[in-house]
Every structure is written in structure tokens, then in C-alpha cells.
Copies of this chain bind each other. A is one copy, B any other.
């Protein structure tokens, strides 16, 4: 059971008062507080011997700072089905957290009554951390609004629409990335485009579709939006370039086309818009762009630091990287 040591315990062992231990611990030399060198040494020795560490809860109760950053996800982050997607973000987060000397608290306990994770369940523990990084394709709007309303320091990974106020975030610049792809395709002669995917729901989907519409409008070319990429339908409509929101859909399309005897990218170009959230075939090298996930993780933690220090509301979009691939021509 080994109950936790308290400052009171340390104080007894060192033959001083609890206050003195606190003062030594925080190295308070300012504001008329003085501790004799040998007393300080004695206290430190006891602390060293016992391995005492201040109870973060009590500390947090009094002032504001744990050096703990929270990471909230609506799903488990480790299971490998999703991990291919989450991992780079976490890498970046871990890196930067180590940089700023904070530990990471994964909110794995946030299971609400219905089984789904919610930030604010009966017993929200979000404030255990100094601040929090939100990770996930889509985030519950009520949760988001509550975070903003309660002024919880947080940063979303992925752009988010306002939710009762601006939402601090570090996102990927999907519109620009999609526009860039369309630009390249137009330069290669394509005139009839299709966007295949939801294009709605999560901001990340909407942003991609928006970039698509902007680009086709700017070029004065044809651009349609379909939910699902049906090969016949696309080819029948004279589409020569398809932008697939989901990588797996794009890959499937390529395979289907090739099976049908169509050449990719000879007869049909297929572009992917970011990373795979679902497992995708390995043998198709899709042209498209890469989401700077690791960098987003890093920047999110940096942004969170700014929130904590200055109370700002940082919003930032990082550029995506073009991936050459072999499905655009």
C-alpha cells in the first residue's frame, strides 16, 4: 500500500516545518525568504533519500501548473488498425513534449455511459492536465463548444469551425493542397474532374471539397462531386481525373480500372488527398499529397504552450507535401 510521502513527512524527518520543505523544494530565494544552507542541504538530503515528489494534484489545486499535457482521442490510439494514422501525430507530440519537459497524459478513461468516449463525462478529468491536445478526425461539437466556453486550454489537431468561439487548432492546409493537385492536372491537360468522397461532415472533408471547387472554378473546368467512385459512372461522364478523399477508395479505383483494361494514368488519373485512415493496398503508388502529421503534432504542442502562456487562440494551417506517385498523367 505504501502510502505516499507528504511534505509533512519530509519535514518531520528533517526536523523542520512543512513550509520550510516547500520553500526549499521550490528554491524560493526571493521576497525575503531565507533558508540556511545547512538546513536546505538537510532537507534536500531527505528528499533525495526518500525520492519524494510533490503530489501533482495538491499542487495543481493550489496553483496552475503540472507540466502534464493531455492527449484526448475519441478512439484508442494504439490499436494497429488506427495506429498507422495516429502514430505520426503522436510522434510529433511526444517529441515536442519532451522538448518542453512535459509528460503526456493519455485520456483513456474518458468512457461515457454509452461506451463512446466523451471529453465531458460524469467525471471529466481533462483539467488534470495543464492543457490538452485533441486528436481525431472529427470532434463532438458539443464537447468543443464546452471546451471553448469553459476556457480549457487546448489545441485541436486539424482545423475546426468555430464552436461558440474560435477554436485553437493546428491543421493541414487541405484547400491549398487540393488546389495544387488540380493545378498540376490542368497543366497536364485534364478538363473533366471528379471529387469522390463525403466532402462533408468532418472539417477535413469539407476543406478538401472546398479546395476542389475553388480550383475547378478558377480554371473554368468541369468538376463534379460524387459520394462513391463508381468506375463506369466516372468514365461514362468523360472524367479523366478523379480526386479520392479516401486513399483506399483511390487505390481500389486504380485496381478496378486496370482490371477493366484501362490504363492509369493513361486513360484515367487518380489522386489521393492525404494519408490513409484505412488500410490501403501497397502496390499502388498514388499521386497526391502527404499530410505533415508529425509536424502537426509538434506544432500543436507548441501552440498549446502559447495558449498556456499567453492565453492566445492560435490557428495555423501547415502545407501538405506533394507526393509524386505514378497515377497522374
Instruction: Report the separation of the CA atoms of residues A185 and B55 in the bound assembly, to the nearest whole angstrom.
Output: 54
* Nearest chain B CB to A93 CB, angstrom units: 8
Q: Quick one: which of A89-113 are within 8 Å of B by CB? A: 90-91, 93-95, 97-98, 101-109, 111
Q: Which residues of B contact A233 (CB under 8 A)?
A: none
B97 touches A91 (CB 8 A): no
Of B1, B83, B123, B127, the residue contacting A87 (CB under 8 A) is B83
Instruction: Report the separation of the CA atoms of residues A98 and B109 in the bound assembly, to the nearest whole angstrom.
Output: 5
Instruction: Report the separation of the CA atoms of residues A126 and B60 in the bound assembly, to the nearest whole angstrom.
Output: 13
* Nearest chain B CB to A143 CB, angstrom units: 11
Instruction: Report the separation of the CA atoms of residues A60 and B98 in the bound assembly, to the nearest whole angstrom.
Output: 24
A127 touches B57 (CB 8 A): yes
B68 touches A128 (CB 8 A): yes
Q: Which residues of B contact A88 (CB under 8 A)?
A: 80
A192 CB-CB contact with B under 8 Å: no
Number of interface residues of A (CB under 8 A): 60
B103 touches A97 (CB 8 A): no
A66 touches B76 (CB 8 A): no
Provided the pairs A76-B91, A91-B76, A98-B108 are in contact, do residues A57 and B103 lie with their beta carbons within 8 angstroms? no
* Nearest chain B CB to A27 CB, angstrom units: 11
Instruction: Report the separation of the CA atoms of residues A127 and B7 in the bound assembly, to the nearest whole angstrom.
Output: 14
Instruction: Report the separation of the CA atoms of residues A276 and B308 in the bound assembly, to the nearest whole angstrom.
Output: 41
| Contact mask for chain A residues 294-329; partner B; CB cutoff 8 A; 1 contact, 0 none | 000000000000001011000000000000000000
Whose C-beta in chain B lies nearest to the C-beta of A151? Answer: B2
Instruction: Report the separation of the CA atoms of residues A50 and B126 in the bound assembly, to the nearest whole angstrom.
Output: 13
A125 touches B51 (CB 8 A): no
A90 touches B78 (CB 8 A): yes
A146 CB-CB contact with B under 8 Å: yes
Q: Quick one: which of A239-279 are within 8 Å of B by CB? A: none
Of B127, B146, B310, the residue contacting A56 (CB under 8 A) is B127
Q: How many copies does the complex hold?
A: 2
A187 CB-CB contact with B under 8 Å: no
A51 touches B128 (CB 8 A): no
Q: Which residues of B contact A128 (CB under 8 A)?
A: 53, 56-57, 60, 66, 68, 103
Of B87, B105, B120, the residue contacting A78 (CB under 8 A) is B87
Sample of 15 more A-B contacts, CB < 8 Å, known A55-B127, A104-B108 = A2-B153, A4-B64, A51-B126, A51-B146, A51-B150, A56-B128, A57-B128, A67-B109, A68-B128, A78-B87, A94-B108, A97-B109, A98-B108, A103-B125, A106-B106
- Chain A positions near chain B (C-beta within 8 angstroms): 1-4, 50-61, 64, 66-68, 76-80, 83, 87-88, 90-91, 93-95, 97-98, 101-109, 111, 120, 123-128, 146, 150-153, 308, 310-311
19 A-B residue pairs with Cβ-Cβ distance under 8 Å, sorted by A, are A1-B311, A3-B64, A51-B126, A53-B126, A53-B128, A54-B123, A57-B60, A76-B98, A77-B94, A78-B91, A78-B94, A80-B88, A97-B109, A98-B109, A103-B106, A103-B108, A103-B109, A104-B108, A105-B106
